[in-house]
Amino acid sequence: MFPAHAQDEQERQQQKHIEWLHPASQGLIAYGHKSEEGKWIQSFHKSPSLKKHTIHPIDSYISVNSFRSKSRIPSNVQELNALFVDIDFKLFNADPHYIYTETKRIIQAKAEIPPPSKIIYSGRGAHIYWRLTNATREDLPLWQACAETLINIFKDEADPVCKDASRVLRLPGTINSKNPTHYTETLEENIHTYTLHEFQAALEQYTDQPIFKPPKPKGDATRANTSVTKHRGKLHKLHTLYNMHYSRIKDIETLVDLRKASGRLERGKRELTLWIYRVSLEHFTSPQEALQGTLELNKSFKHPLNQREATSDTKSAKKKYKLTNAYIIRTLEISDDEQRHMSILITKEEKRRRWNEKRELKRRREGKPTRAEIIQRANERRERAHHMKQAGSTQEEIAHTLGITTKRVNQMLGKCCASCIGGNERIQRWKSSASCIVENELI
């Protein structure tokens, strides 16, 4: 047993860490602990209520990030508060001072990475935190790419599975049952905070190496003999990958809501919808938590599958499957109207429609005329040129009046002639005709 004054100090450490990690959280914070029987007990709290909640002294955990609802899956994250690495030395009765010394040695060996904001003694290792600011659920793909990169940097020391945004870590001021001789505690706390893009830039500088191009041919004075190009490294590729899967997760959730409202979903497509959803979800979390997230989506169906059937139908879903958007659209039969609500599960036609819509909106903002207005002006100009020609004006005079070249005047009058009459005979007849107007032609 620890003395009463020591327990008071641990409670202060608990509250201080909660306030540091979730200073003004608007989402739900996940708190969990293991019972004496080894059962996992989890609850969700707003920040003020968690501060008043009784913290279990042994094997207590808190989520690094907050959630929108009472579901601890990555796609449900609301605020991204920190990046972290879990270093486990796998030593029984490890002394905090020894852990701190070894952790600092490991960090100093990787001096190019940003300095950590906090180091916590976890009982058998250390948790290293990098505090983030202004990171929301929309930044989850970049957060996941940075977390994956940190695991690669600390690949010889870090727990490789501890890299998901829904992760819970040990709360300082509690006891690790695997090493009950010491409380977990904060070993170091700094004022360093980062935006995700600042952290991304620092990691890219650490992980990406420049590519040296071969020397240019001699004799070309305009070119340097050698050049160095910074390439897009692994972090960028990871960000692209996670961004794609995160967009698919959101699109499938949107699709389920749309079809639930219209009554179109369900039979024949529920199993495939859940399977595809779980494939993308496994990129962000463990297979067990991906299954829990899939079962949560199943509950939102108008006619959900039973839990056993949903589990069985998606057990083959692995992140090794490289599904294309075209395959998903074809398999789930996503209609054109549904694609208007999607972000990535769209066809080339929908992508072109959005591009044209965006381009048209840009033209309106710049004050440029619409297509109908351009056609109308062209017809009016052609008609005016024809009437001036009938009145005896020369092509030079018409070009000067209309502000165009004589070649263009000749083209306009020639087209006008060819559309009414043909050949040389038609040209002669056109000279005495009353009018010649060509419609629906854009000049």
pLDDT in tens, 419-430: 444 444 544 444
Mean pLDDT of the chain: 83
Residue 44: DSSP 8-state: E
Quick one: 63 and 193 in the same domain?
A: yes
Residue 229, domain member (yes or no): no
* pLDDT(178) > 80: yes
Burial degree of 379 (CB within 10 A; 0-12, 13-18, 19+): middle
Question: Of 352, 387, 419, which residue sits at a domain end?
Answer: 352
Give which of 97, 294, 274, 309 is closest to 185, Cα–Cα.
Answer: 97
Q: Is the dihedral of CA 90, 165, 196, 152 positive or negative?
A: positive
Q: Among positive and negative, which fits the CA dihedral 356, 361, 363, 368?
A: positive
Residues in the chain, total: 443
Residue 167 has pLDDT above 90, yes or no: yes
In a domain, 215, yes or no: no
Do 35 and 136 fall into the same domain? yes
What is the per-residue pLDDT for 110? 85
Q: Are residues 159 and 188 in the same domain?
A: yes
Of the listed ranges 270-279, 289-298, 413-422, the least confidently predicted one is 413-422
Q: What is the mean pLDDT of residues 220-231?
A: 44
Using CA atoms, how far apart are residues 165 and 285, in angstroms rounded to an integer? Answer: 8
- Are 192 and 122 within one domain? yes
* Neighbouring residues of 45: CB distance < 8 A, sequence distance ≥ 6: 28, 29, 31, 53
Distance CA 275, CA 240 (A): 22
What are the C-alpha distances in Å from 38 to residues 166, 177, 194? 21, 11, 37
The total number of structural domains in the chain stands at: 3
On whether residue 224 sits in a domain, the answer given is no
Rounded CA-CA distance 28/62 in Å is 11
The pLDDT, as a whole number, for residue 221 is 47
Looking at residue 290, what DSSP letter applies? Answer: H
pLDDT in tens, 356-412: 999 888 888 888 888 888 888 888 888 888 888 888 888 888 888 888 898 888 888
Residue with tokens 């202060």: 12
Task: Outline where 183-332 has alpha helix (H).
Answer: 196-207, 234-262, 270-281, 287-299, 307-314, 325-332
Segment 47-75 shows an average pLDDT of 87
Q: What is the pLDDT of residue 222?
A: 47
Residue 280 binned pLDDT confidence (cut-offs 50, 70, 90): very high
Q: How crowded is residue 302: how many other Cβ atoms within 10 Å of its Cβ?
A: 13
Among 298, 320, 352, the domain-final residue is 352
What whole-number distance in Å separates Cα of residue 244 and Cα of residue 377? Answer: 45
245 and 166 inside one domain: no
Averaged pLDDT for residues 102-122: 90
- The reply to whether 184 and 320 lie within a common domain is no
Q: What's the CATH code of the domain at 191?
A: 3.30.70.1790
For 238, the domain range is 234-352
- Judgement on whether residues 22 and 67 belong to the same structural domain of the protein: yes
Indicate whether this model's pTM tops 0.85: no
**Which of 352, 381, 413 finishes a domain?**
352
